[in-house]
Structure 1
Amino acid sequence: MPPAPGAVPGPSRPGAPAESAAESTRRLRRVPPEPVPSRPLPPQAPLWGAGQRPYVTFADPEGYDDERARPRPLGRRTRSQAVAAAVCLVLGAGLLTGAVTGSWLADDPGDDGRPGTFAAAGELWHSAPVDDLFPPTVDGRGAGPGGADRTWTRIAVAPDSGCAHAFDPLLREALAPAGCARLLRATYTDATRSHVTTVGLLFTKADAAAMTALADRFARQDLGVRTDLMPLPYAAEHTLAAGFGAHQRASWTVSVLTDAPVVVYAVSGWADGREVGDPQPAAAAMRADATTDVAQAGLGHEAQGLADRVERRLRKNAEPATEQPS
């Protein structure tokens, strides 16, 4: 109930000053806060004993491994974290390598619009000088039997041509799925002029997938070591290889590339035109325990060594077409 007119209300709680009659409302007066009783703080044990100095350590801070709150240093990795980091690193490197390899095989153009290495290699038959693919002299360091050095000298270069009469029928049939864009051949002799070797580059019309399928077929069916699938030599008239025909073939090798639309092959024989009744693939003739005349003469090394170096020249000439200028 409101106070009676003229009455002066008393204080609302102890300690508040009395209101005067001039005050119209209590809300305009400032009322001091009610004192809060103080409670003493509990005694705190000393951090170290009397006469002792504190020991400060700069060890790694601790975290917690799991819900059981077992401490572990935050600056160290657990075994599982280290393994996970290593796996991520390997996967990342694999993805990067796969991307580079995919760009090579898929013939992706570079950032500047130039063709990929696969396509660039396929154009070398008409863009590269003959001396870049078939040098006048080829150094075969360590290419002979027992790691002996070899040197081959070019004695003939065949005009670039198709493949109609360049292979025996069975080999032509085996290579047919890849097609024939152009065939380049050259014949070399060794430093003693005792042997002759024809090396060839068959530029196909196939893409990377078709070349991979052809290479798989050659490997799976051992087509590269069958005597009925030997390449034919190039016997240039008025040269040391004039008598190098089909019956003079002694050793050979055939390599189907998967990073270029090219089949690299080589076939070797004696320079004196002798016939060979038992030719031997280069891989077999190069074995240390091989005792045939072909193997003892090093004709397997002649074919394989020259084919390997011409293949390297092919790759070297294909790479600059996709390199970025420095």
Structure 2
Amino acid sequence: MSTEARRAPFPPRPTDAPAPAETEAQTEDEPSVFAPRRPLERPRETRPPVPEARITTPPPPPPASARFPDAPPPRTPAATPTETTTRLRPVPAGSEPAAQVPPPPAWNPAPAPDPALSWNAPWPVGAFGQPQPYEEPVRGLGPLARLRSRTGVAAVCVVLGLGLIGGALAGSWLTGEDGERTADSGFAAAGSLWHNVPVDQLFPPTVRGTGAGPGGADRSWTRIAVAPDTGCAGAFDPLLARALAPVGCARLLRATYTDATRTHVTTVGLLFTKADPAAMAGLAARFRTERLDRRTDLLPLPYAAKGTPAAGFGAKQRASWTVSVLTDAPIVAFAVSGWADGRTVDTPEAAPDAVRSGATSAPAQAGLGNEAQGLADRIQRKLRQTVSPATEKPS
């Protein structure tokens, strides 16, 4: 089809309309829009030569005085050398973005312990409500075999126990360390001291009492007279003699001492009874419960030897006293003290009361309670030291 035929359907252009001006773009090489198009040829791209990489220093900024007239002049930094090579420099630290640190893992608490493994867990219960023991049955052994093994262990324990008991009994029999026999032998040996031991061992010529005086002062007593061994007649007040009658009187030993100043005199005595340990324990309990050792009508009498500082020491001169019933020996120990000048005492005071702190009686102020208590204690100690070697058996 020709060009005129394609243009026929369009109405003709008015004659009075100006013809459009041709642009510079429509050339002879580019046809009209209504003409058939020719394929356009893409021009070849020509790449310019790559210049050599060169790193130059940027121009310095304008001085601060130009930008900020009032600012002080900046310090001039040291000149840095420029690099004109094409090699790559290492990137300084801090120029790269900080690495993303992964968040820490979520906290996962430890699992709770199993309650069944706790010490407070209930004991497993068997078929009939009895605790089920944690023991593995030995394969190949029945209940009869386990019973036999337990019986054997029990028999071994019984044999060992009997052997230990028998060895202890045999050792005590061979060494003679039976407690009851030792106590009986000591009790019997103490009852025979009055004729088996010299008088100087029972009543030493000099007795030292460290801390026995008032306020813990030291005392020293010297023996001035020893009474012959006699019976108990006339040695005690009637009521005291009646109280001592149940244990009997085997022998009575007495001695009189004076202090270092020869101001006080004290008679100390040992009454050897005929009683057994049970009777002596009963008498001691009676003195303790009824306080017979504190009654002023139950006093021992002194031994007044002629020609000594104790010549005028009688019943009316008694100022303080003490009575002790021994339970480990058939002996009653006593002591009574007074002034050596023969002065009388209206109201004597028991030694346990006279030695108390704050006592204001005349015997307490003079220290006569300490004289009686201190001397009696030292004689009893000497007596026990004498009994101990007598009851020891040779090895």
TM-score of the aligned structures, taking structure 1 as reference length: 0.67
Q: Give 1:273 shift.
A: 0.4
Q: Which residue of the partner structure matches residue 300 of structure 2?
A: 231
Alpha-carbon separation, structure 2, partners of 1:271 and 1:218: 30
**1:306 and 2:371 correspond:** no
Residue pair 2:266, 2:336 contacting (<8 A) in 1 also:
yes
Q: 2:256 aligns with which of 187, 191, 214?
A: 187
**1:176 and 2:254 correspond:** no
Q: Which residue of the partner structure matches residue 254 of structure 1?
A: 323
For residues 125-144 of structure 1, give each alpha carbon's deviation from its aligned partner in whole angstroms, at most 9, with x where no partner exists.
00000000000000100101
Q: Give 1:325 shift.
A: 2.5
- Computing the radius of gyration from Cα coordinates, the structure with the larger value is 2
Question: What residue ranges of structure 1 are gaps of 5+ in the alignment?
Answer: 1-64, 72-91, 108-115
**1:279 and 2:357 correspond:** no
Q: 1:154 aligns with which of 223, 239, 252?
A: 223
Alpha-carbon separation, structure 2, partners of 1:278 and 1:165: 21
Q: Which residue of the partner structure matches residue 243 of structure 1?
A: 312
Q: Give 1:102 shift.
A: 3.4
Q: Which residue of the partner structure matches residue 18 of structure 2?
A: none
Q: Give 1:278 shift.
A: 1.2
Count of residue correspondences: 228
1:147 is aligned with what amino acid? G
Q: Which residue of the partner structure matches residue 295 of structure 1?
A: 364
1:220 is aligned with what amino acid? T
**1:122 and 2:191 correspond:** yes
| Aligned-partner SS, 2:297 | helix
Q: How does 1:101-120 map to 2 (within 5 A)?
A: 102-105=180-183, 107=184, 116-120=185-189
Q: Which residue of the partner structure matches residue 12 of structure 1?
A: none
For residues 28-56 of structure 1, give each alpha carbon's deviation from its aligned partner in whole angstroms, at most 9, with x where no partner exists.
xxxxxxxxxxxxxxxxxxxxxxxxxxxxx
Question: What residue ranges of structure 2 are gaps of 5+ in the alignment?
Answer: 1-122, 125-130, 136-167
Q: Which residue of the partner structure matches residue 267 of structure 1?
A: 336
Q: How does 1:52-63 map to 2 (within 5 A)?
A: none
Alpha-carbon separation, structure 2, partners of 1:68 and 1:312: 65
Q: Give 1:324 shift.
A: 2.3
Alpha-carbon separation, structure 1, partners of 2:227 and 2:367: 25
Q: Give 1:103 shift.
A: 3.3
Q: Give 1:164 shift.
A: 1.2
Sequence identity percentage: 69
| Aligned-partner SS, 1:218 | helix
Alpha-carbon separation, structure 2, partners of 1:266 and 1:228: 15
1:141 is aligned with what amino acid? T
Q: Provide the alpha-carbon RMSD of the alignment.
A: 2.0
Q: Give 1:100 shift.
A: 5.7
Residue pair 2:182, 2:391 contacting (<8 A) in 1 also:
no
Q: Which residue of the partner structure matches residue 30 of structure 2?
A: none
For residues 274-302 of structure 1, give each alpha carbon's deviation from its aligned partner in whole angstroms, at most 9, with x where no partner exists.
00011000000000110111101110010
Q: Which residue of the partner structure matches residue 285 of structure 2?
A: 216
Alpha-carbon separation, structure 2, partners of 1:321 and 1:293: 42
For residues 144-191 of structure 1, give each alpha carbon's deviation from its aligned partner in whole angstroms, at most 9, with x where no partner exists.
111100000000000000011111111100000000000000000001
Residue pair 1:248, 1:274 contacting (<8 A) in 2 also:
yes
Q: Give 1:244 shift.
A: 0.3
TM-score of the aligned structures, taking structure 2 as reference length: 0.56
Return closer, same or farther for 1:212/1:69 CA change in 2, 3 Å cut-off: same
